[in-house]
Amino acid sequence: MELRQLETFCAIIAGGSLTAAARLTGRSQPAISRQLQELEAALGFTLFERNGPRITPTEQGLRFHDEVEPSLAGLRRLEERAEAIARGELASLDIAAIPALAMGLIPRALARLPAEDLPRNLGLGAVPAGEVVRQLLDRRAVLGFASLPVDHQGLDVHWLGESRCVAVLPAAHPLAGETCLPLRALDGERLITVADPHRLRHRIETALARAEARPRGLMAVNASILAASAARAGLGVALIDPVTAQGLPATGLAIRPLDTAIPFFWSVLTPAARPPSLLTRRVIEAAREAAEELPGFRLHPPRSMDLLTARQAASPQDDPRDNEEPAR
């Protein structure tokens, strides 16, 4: 296998045809066709089914693409970092974060740093919490932000954040007149929330059960921003993390605190095998400063990880404050 053959293969997948792959790579269509044939011969299996001008990936082709694409992305990052070293510049900064933090907290944190202090290349990926951990352990990212619970073996925890979830509903909704929304008032409403049953949704469902609120239906989404968009469209009442809520445009929406605390917990992580760079430490500090602007934010030290994970699994209480020491 040759690198150009692998690039050609990924271009065909991305473009959906040999013609599109030729356009994406700047190569001729006969060259694309030849490189694909050579790659299939080297592999010993067929990557695409041909049907006239149409070309469709085989199951083996899709499985092979799942292996190739991350490797090529790693090579591209290596080239970028080598070029930065040659220019005497900072290497790229790759951050992996759950969508709520990637779209809300982290851009505000990066904006706190002088532009000249940031590297030429910045990477910010919005991925599930488990993928945040995998990218840190695989060194595809140097800094991660993940909701609890999180398996932090092989990772250093720098600080833990907590803030209370809020309700998002259309401005014209009858409940929008509440200054503090009782969970009991959600009885009979359609609820919009995140789909993962082992993270925030678990706490939301437990809190609703304690309040004896029985929603008439549930819309599950994979990101809080989608829940807010659905609420704006009038599909129901969204219960989401406060980080996403802080960045929402106010037009057409009402954002209300809840009478029962449903904490949203997250962690700031780096690989334990390598100390964070000065730039990474500055981003960690800038993220803490940005988080302190959230209503009711609490900063917890790394040693509170097990305690907060236990709280994540427990029933929400009307007063969520614990006796653990605050972070210094």
For 22-75, the pLDDT digits (tens) are: 998 999 999 999 999 999 999 999 999 988 777 899 999 999 999 998 888 878
In this structure, the answer to whether residues 251 and 285 fall within a common structural domain is no
Q: What is the pLDDT of residue 307?
A: 86
What is the rounded CA–CA span in Å between residue 131 and residue 114?
29
Q: What is residue 132's three-state secondary structure?
A: helix
Q: What is the pLDDT of residue 61?
A: 92
Please name the residues in contact with 244: beta carbons below 8 A apart, sequence gap of 6 or more: 100, 103, 104, 224, 225, 228
Low-confidence ranges of the chain (pLDDT < 70): 84, 87-91, 197-198, 313-328
Domain assignment present for residue 188? The answer is: yes
Domain assignment present for residue 319? The answer is: no
Report which DSSP code applies to 181: B
Among 87, 119, 134, identify where a domain stops. Answer: 87
> Would you say 295 and 163 are in contact if contact means Cβ atoms under 8 Å apart?
yes
Phi-psi category of 188—alpha, beta or left, where left has phi over 0 and alpha has psi -120 to 50? Answer: left
CA 207, chain centre distance (Å): 25
pTM: 0.73
Please name the residues in contact with 65: beta carbons below 8 A apart, sequence gap of 6 or more: 9, 10, 13, 57
In this structure, the answer to whether residues 127 and 276 fall within a common structural domain is yes
Domain assignment present for residue 325? The answer is: no
Domain extent, residue 42, equals: 3-87
Among 261, 290, 322, identify where a domain stops. Answer: 261
Report which DSSP code applies to 33: H
Domain assignment present for residue 299? The answer is: yes
* Number of domain units in the chain: 3
In this structure, the answer to whether residues 195 and 309 fall within a common structural domain is no
In this structure, the answer to whether residues 48 and 100 fall within a common structural domain is no
Domain assignment present for residue 205? The answer is: yes
Domain assignment present for residue 55? The answer is: yes
Domain assignment present for residue 323? The answer is: no
In this structure, the answer to whether residues 279 and 153 fall within a common structural domain is yes
